[in-house]
Amino acid sequence: MNFAAVGRPLGCLKTALRQARQQRAWQRSLATAAAPEAPNVSKPILTARQRSREERLARFQVYPEVPTVRTDFKDPMPVLRQAQITMLDPTGARTRLFAKDQADAAKPGDVLMVSTKNGEPFSGYLIEIRRRGADTAILLRGQMMKTSVESWFKVYSPTVTAINIIWRRPKRARRARLTYMRKPEHDKGSVDHLVAAWKKERSTLRSKSGSGGVRQQKARGK
């Protein structure tokens, strides 16, 4: 049996099919080719299919696009957040205390003391500041009964009566979240000695200011 004779017609059939496909594609390209532009005509020449589509679309009435909140209206949430902050913090002291653009604002690594209505003041290192508008909160890490404790405090909460900076870190921390202080080798421990020094300095300043006022009153009485 001659295998070459059997395989040859199959190759010829593939060639014929390939030529037919190429010829069909060439004819299709000629049919869909753009017609030459006519001189002094503003509108382009449309095919029958395009003309029928334009006629079908002309039967329907097209209404204008409905305005959306994203395109035509302003977002009301920033105004509402600012109104809440103004109501909770009329003087703006707590806003400035944790603002990013304030030089004397509290930064991660500082020691803060938070006083509340229902409990004793809590002192600890400022680990994280979560800025969420009226829900802005701070995370402090301190010690209670020789055990490290972390506590979140809402800055604008009505139960928080005072927030004082006890000690400022000499060098600014390179991170915004000091979560590495949870490891035993980086744990700072208790801050009672810093709180005691701050209270002593505060009482000294108060006594000096009080003695100065007494002296002025005596001088006026003379």
Q: 4 falls in which pLDDT band (50, 70, 90)?
A: very low
Average pLDDT over residues 60-64: 78
Residue 172 pLDDT: 86
* pLDDT interval class at 51 (50, 70, 90): confident
pLDDT value at 204 more than 50: yes
Phi–psi pair at 103, nearest 5 degrees: -70, -35
Arithmetic mean of pLDDT, 195-202: 92
| Residue bearing the bigger pLDDT, 43 or 143 | 143
pLDDT band for 6, please (50, 70, 90 cuts): very low
Q: Mean pLDDT score of the chain, rounded to an integer?
A: 81
Whether 26 has a pLDDT exceeding 80, the answer reads no
Q: What is the rounded end-to-end Cα distance, in angstroms, of the chain?
A: 142
Which residue reads 């980086």 in tokens?
186
pLDDT the model gives residue 31: 47
Task: Give pLDDT tens digits for 82-116.
Answer: 999 999 999 999 999 999 888 889 999 999 999 99
Helix (H, G, I), strand (E, B) or coil at 169: coil
Q: Which residues contact 179 (CB under 8 A, 6 or more apart)?
A: 127, 128
Q: Is residue 140 a contact partner of residue 125, using CB atoms and an 8 Å limit?
A: yes
Per-residue tokens: 130? 């979560």
Distances from the Cα of 176 to the Cα of 61, 125, 157, 180, angstroms: 58, 13, 23, 11
Mean pLDDT within 196-214 = 81
- Count other C-beta atoms under 10 Å from residue 116's C-beta: 14
Q: How confident is the model at residue 221 (pLDDT cuts 50, 70, 90)?
A: low
Q: Which residue has the higher pLDDT, 186 or 42?
A: 186
pLDDT of residue 194 exceeding 60 = yes
CB contact set of 171 (below 8 Å; sequence gap of 6+): none
- Give the whole-angstrom CA distance, residue 154 versus residue 94: 11
Query: pLDDT tens-digit profile of 151-193?
Result: 999 999 999 999 999 999 998 888 889 999 999 999 988 999 9
Residue 219 clears pLDDT 60, i.e. is over it: no
For residue 151, what is the DSSP state?
Answer: E
Provide, rounded to the nearest whole percent, the portion of the chain with pLDDT above 90.
43
Q: Are 122 and 114 in contact, with CB atoms under 8 Å apart?
A: yes
pLDDT at 123: 94
